[in-house]
Amino acid sequence: MGVDFDSPRALRTSEGWVLKAVLAVLGLIVLLVVAGTLYVRANPLALYVKSARGALAKAGLELESLDTSAGRLAYWTGGSGPTVVLLHGAGDQAGAFQGVVGQLLEDHRVLIPDIPGHGESEPAEGPLEMTVMYAGVAEFLDAEGGDAPVTLIGSSMGGWISLIHALHRPDDVARVIGINAGGLRGDRPDLSLMPADREAARTLMQALRDPSSEPLPDFVLDDLVQRSAEGPIARMVAKWEDLEAHLLEGRLGEIDVPVDLIWGESDQLLSLDYAERMRAGLPRARLTLIEKCGHHPANECPEKLAESLDRVLAMAPPPPAADATDGDDESVATGEDVG
Does position 29 have pLDDT exceeding 50, yes or no? no
Q: Hey, is 224 helix, strand or coil?
A: helix
Taking CA 298 as the corner, what is the angle to CA 37 and CA 234, rounded to the nearest 5 degrees? 70
Q: Please list the residues that pair with 72 across neighbouring strands.
A: 67
Does position 19 have pLDDT exceeding 90, yes or no? no
CA distance 99 to 197: 30
Question: What was the pLDDT predicted at 65?
Answer: 98
| Structure confidence at residue 327 as a pLDDT band (50, 70, 90) | very low
| Structure confidence at residue 334 as a pLDDT band (50, 70, 90) | very low
Question: What was the pLDDT predicted at 96?
Answer: 98
Q: Please list the residues that pair with 240 across neighbouring strands.
A: none
Give residue-wise pLDDT tens across range 143-174: 999 999 999 999 999 999 999 999 999 999 99
Give residue-wise pLDDT tens across range 255-269: 999 999 999 999 999
Q: Which residue type occupies 327? A: G
Question: What was the pLDDT predicted at 209?
Answer: 97
| Structure confidence at residue 10 as a pLDDT band (50, 70, 90) | low
Does position 321 have pLDDT exceeding 90, yes or no? no
Give residue-wise pLDDT tens across range 45-80: 999 999 999 999 999 999 999 999 999 999 999 999
Higher-scoring residue by pLDDT: 174, 9: 174
What are the two backbone dihedrals, phi and then psi, of residue 113, each rounded to the nearest 5 degrees? Answer: -85, 155
- Nearest CA among 7, 45, 5 for reference residue 205: 45
The answer to whether 90 and 233 have CB atoms below 8 angstroms apart is: yes
Question: What was the pLDDT predicted at 216?
Answer: 94
Question: What was the pLDDT predicted at 27?
Answer: 52
Q: How much is the average pLDDT of 2-17?
A: 57
| Structure confidence at residue 14 as a pLDDT band (50, 70, 90) | low
Higher-scoring residue by pLDDT: 51, 26: 51
- Nearest CA among 205, 220, 235 for reference residue 296: 205
Beta strand 83-87 with 109-113: parallel, antiparallel or unpaired? Answer: parallel
CA distance 226 to 319: 45
What rounded mean pLDDT belongs to the chain? 88
Q: How much is the average pLDDT of 296-323?
A: 93
Give residue-wise pLDDT tens across range 77-131: 999 999 999 999 999 999 999 999 999 999 999 999 999 999 999 999 999 999 9
Question: What was the pLDDT predicted at 187?
Answer: 87
Within 8 A by CB and 6+ apart from 306, the residues are: 99, 100, 102, 103
Global pTM value: 0.86
Q: How much is the average pLDDT of 5-19?
A: 57
Give residue-wise pLDDT tens across range 204-232: 999 999 999 999 999 999 999 999 999 99
Q: Hey, is 176 helix, strand or coil?
A: strand
CA distance 182 to 270: 8
Question: What was the pLDDT predicted at 43?
Answer: 80
CA distance 111 to 93: 13
